[in-house]
Chains A and B, each alone.
Chain A
C-alpha cells in the first residue's frame, strides 16, 4: 500500500493531524488528537524517500524500539507507533516548555543558572542511563524543560539500549552524531560509552557559560578528527567571571579520554548540586589552552586511533555508585563511627570508582536561628567539618572521590533521606546505636532512614 499523503486532517490509526509543529527535511512533527488518548500529543513522521539517508530510517527504528521502554519524568510518554509496512510514526506526549536551543540566545548565562539548568539536564540523563539507554545526541535542541524546571530529553534517533540490538552500530562507516557536541570516541564510531553523554553535556555547559560552542561546528572527517587532540580555550579565557568550580566541572567533562571525565552522570550531577564541594585542580583557574607539547602528544596518539575497545562493564552500566556515609561524631558513638569507616572502606575496595559523600547532621532545635547565635552556629559547623574530614582521612581516598557535608536539621533521619533522594545516592551507610534510653524514647534514626530511603541502606553496628 502506498503511504498516505501527510496533510492536515489526515487520520492515521485514529490519530488526527491538527497542526504541523515542525516540517523538517528528515521528519515532520504534528500536533495530533485521539479520542482515546488525552492530549497534548505530537506525532513524529519520518520522510522516507528512496535512496534517502539510511541513518535516519534506522534511527527511527531505534527510536520506535527504545522510547516505549523508557519511563519517568525525563522522557516524553510514549503513546503509539506506526508500522513500517504502512506508515511509520511515533506518537508521544507533547512537552509544552521551551527547548534549551530556544533559550541559548540568552547565553552567556550567569554561573548559578548554568549550574541549575545543568543539574536538571544531568539528572535527566542519569535517569536514562539508569534505564540502560545512552542518548548519544545530547544537544540544546533535544533538551526541553517542563514549567517546573524538570528537563526532558527528546529524539532517541541515535540512542542505544544496552540490552537491545544496536541497529546503527554495524551499519554505518561514518561517525554519527551532531558535530558540535560529539565526543571524541563517537568520532571513532564507539556507541557504547555513557561518558559520551557526559562530554556532550560538557559542550552544552560550555556554550551556556561562554555563549560559544567549544569546538565550533566542524565539517568533514578531518574537522571531526580534531576532536581527538584539540582542546578549546578554557571558559575563563572567554568569561573571566566563570567561577573556578564551574570551569573545573566543564573541563573535566570535556576530557578527550573518557576515563578522565566523571565516571557517571550521577556524579556530575552531584558536583553541579554542590559547587562548594568541587575539588579544584590547576585546570580550574587556567586561562590558556594546553601547552604545545601536550597537544602534540595527543595529536600523535590520535593519528592512528581507531574505534576504542568497549569500556569496562561497570562503566557501561554506569554503576560507579555514590555512597552516602552518615557519620555520627558525638563522642559516645566513636566505636560506631570507626565501624562505619571500616564498612565504607570495604565497599570502596569492591567498587573502585565509587564516590563517598560524608554527611554529618548538626542537630538544631528549630530552623530559625537568630543573629546572635549565627556566629556560634557557624563555628560549630566548621568544627564538625574538620571532625568529618579527620574521620575520613584513614580511608586514604583521593580528594575527587570524597565530599563533606554538614547538614543542619531538626530531624536527622529526614535530612539523610532527603540528601539521598535529591542526589540520587545509590547506597546509604550509617551506624546504629546500641541500647540507649534516647533510642527507646525517640526511636532509631537508622530504622527511619531504612524505612524511607529511596536506595539500599546498610546499617553498621560496632562489635559488642
Chain B
C-alpha cells in the first residue's frame, strides 16, 4: 500500500493544492492528513473544506494542536500563532469546527502508527526533533513505524534495540529504503509553512509494500499565500517566513 503523508497545511491553500496535484501523480492508495489543517495561514475555510472533500474520498485525517486550539485555547502558543487562531475562529463556521473537533488523534494501519506529534503523549504534542525524541516516541508504541508532522522539519530516525538511534535528513526525490528489521520514526515536514530553509511544500509517500519512504518537495506560489496573510491583517512574520522557509 502507498500512503501519501501530508501534514501541517496551516491554512495555506496554494501549498495544499500544489501538493494534492503532485500526490495525484504518485499512484497512492491512501491519503493521510496528519493534522494542523488551520492556523497561521489565510485560507482556513478553503483548506478545511478541501480536507473534508479528501476525507469524503477516503482520506484519513488526524487532529493537530492548531485544529484543537480552534475550540480550546492553547496556553503554550506564541503571540503570532494565537492571533492567527483567534482570527481563524472568526471565519470558520459550525460545520468546519465540528469536523476539526471530531478528528482522531491516532490510528494504526498494520505496523504503522499515524499521529500529529510524538506518539509518546498524543494530545500533548511533544516535538520529534532529536534522536532522543524519536526513541521516546517509538518507545511509547509497539508499532514498527511511526509517521508524524508537527515540527515542520522533515526527518527520519532509525532505531534498533540496544543501538544508537540514527538520524537522517531525507533528500527530496531520493527514496529511502526502510529495512524491515528496524523501527522507523518518520517526520514528514510541513505543507503550508516549511521551516527547514526551503520554501517548497514538503510531504512524503510511504510505500509499505516496498518498505520505502519517498520524500517530496513541491514548489508553490508562496508569494500569493503571503499576500493573503497580509491582506487578512495577520502578523507580518507569518507572511514573510513563507519565502524563507523558516
Binding site for B on A (CB under 8 A): 54, 61, 64-65, 83-85, 162-167, 169-171
Contact = CB atoms under 8 A, between A and B. Distances in A.
Nearest to A81: B177
The 5 closest A-B pairs by CB, nearest first: A165-B168, A163-B171, A163-B174, A84-B181, A170-B166
Interface residues on chain B, size class: 10 to 19
Contacts of A165: 156, 158, 166, 168, 176
Contacts of B156: 165
A65 B181 CA distance: 13
A170 B132 CA distance: 13
Given A64-B179, A165-B156, A170-B131, 17 more contacts: A54-B163, A61-B179, A65-B177, A83-B180, A84-B180, A85-B180, A163-B171, A163-B174, A164-B176, A164-B177, A165-B168, A165-B176, A166-B168, A170-B164, A170-B165, A171-B164, A171-B166
Nearest to B215: A163
Contacts of B164: 170-171
23 contacts: A65-B177, A65-B179, A84-B181, A85-B180, A85-B181, A162-B171, A163-B171, A163-B174, A164-B168, A164-B174, A164-B176, A164-B177, A165-B158, A165-B168, A165-B176, A166-B168, A167-B158, A167-B166, A170-B131, A170-B164, A170-B166, A170-B167, A171-B164
A13 to B, nearest CB: 15
Contacts of B174: 163-164
A83 B182 CA distance: 12
Contacts of A54: 163
A367 B217 CA distance: 54
Contacts of B171: 162-163
Nearest to B156: A165
Contacts of A85: 180-181
A84 B177 CA distance: 13
B169 to A, nearest CB: 9
Interface in B140-178: 156, 158, 163-168, 171, 174, 176-177
A164 to B, nearest CB: 6
A67 to B, nearest CB: 11
Nearest to B211: A83
A170 B156 CA distance: 14
Contacts of A166: 166, 168
B115 to A, nearest CB: 22
A61 B182 CA distance: 10
Nearest to B172: A163
Nearest to B169: A165
B208 to A, nearest CB: 15
A165 B166 CA distance: 8
B164 to A, nearest CB: 5
Contacts of A64: 179
A83 B178 CA distance: 12
Contacts of A83: 180
A171 B164 CA distance: 5
A425 to B, nearest CB: 26
Nearest to B181: A84
A84 B144 CA distance: 15
A171 B163 contact: yes
Contacts of A65: 177, 179
Interface string B172-209: 00101101110000000000000000000000000000
B179 A84 contact: yes
B80 to A, nearest CB: 32
B202 to A, nearest CB: 16
Contacts of A171: 163-164, 166
A167 B163 CA distance: 11
A280 to B, nearest CB: 41
A59 to B, nearest CB: 13
B23 to A, nearest CB: 22
